[in-house]
Amino acid sequence: MTRLGKAYAGGEARAAAIVLSEPLSFWGGIDIETGEIIDRSHPDLGKCVAGRILVMPGGRGSSSSSTVLAETIRRGTGPAGIVLARPDPILTVGAIVAQSLYALHCPIVVCAIDGITTGDQVRISPASSGAALIEVVSGSTTG
């Protein structure tokens, strides 16, 4: 499956997807040291976003999520890339800042997210004029 989305933060990424059914606030929602979801009210509590393509409907909550995302990218505990159903300015800023400061890319793409399941291999690559290509291959792993 291949889709074209709009790239809000650029870059390439290729990793297994972790698909969340609900938006996640990085501030108060992610353990900076591990990338584990620690928001007790979130249905995916205990799962880990580190090194994965994080797929979710949108972001949520405090603007401090920008710093938390940037800090997890710096530490290598953040997602490899983020695919959202709707734009999120707070996560976008966190990814752009990490890119500018550390030359570490966590692409953020907005496109339809139906049909992507946890464990699918997802590849995000830049296309022309601010678009991004999302290639999804059904995964053999689960997670």
Q: Please list the active-site residues.
A: 62
Instruction: Using alpha carbons, select from 62, 51, 50, 53 the residue that is nearest to residue 24.
Output: 62
Q: Which is nearer to another protein, 97 or 116 (CB)?
A: 97
CB of 105 to another protein, least distance (A): 8
Which residues contribute to the site for another protein (CB under 8 A)? Answer: 3-11, 32, 61-68, 70-71, 74, 87-90, 92-94, 96-102, 111-112, 127, 129-131
Pairing of strands 2-9, 108-110: antiparallel
Q: Tell me how far, at minimum, the Cβ of 50 lies from another protein, in Å.
A: 16
Q: What's the number of CA atoms in the CB half-sphere (13 Å) around residue 56? A: 22
SS3 per residue for 4-54: EEEEEECCCEEEEEEECCCCECCCCCECCCCCEECCCCCCCCCCECCCCEE
Q: Which amino acid is at 53?
A: I
Q: How far is the CB of 135 from another protein (least distance, A)?
A: 13
Question: Of 20 and 111, which has the nearer Cβ to another protein?
Answer: 111
Q: Which of 63/138 has CB closer to another protein? A: 63
CB 69 within 8 A of CB 97: no
Tell me how far, at minimum, the Cβ of 96 lies from another protein, in Å.
5
Which C-beta is closer to another protein: that of 53 or that of 113?
113
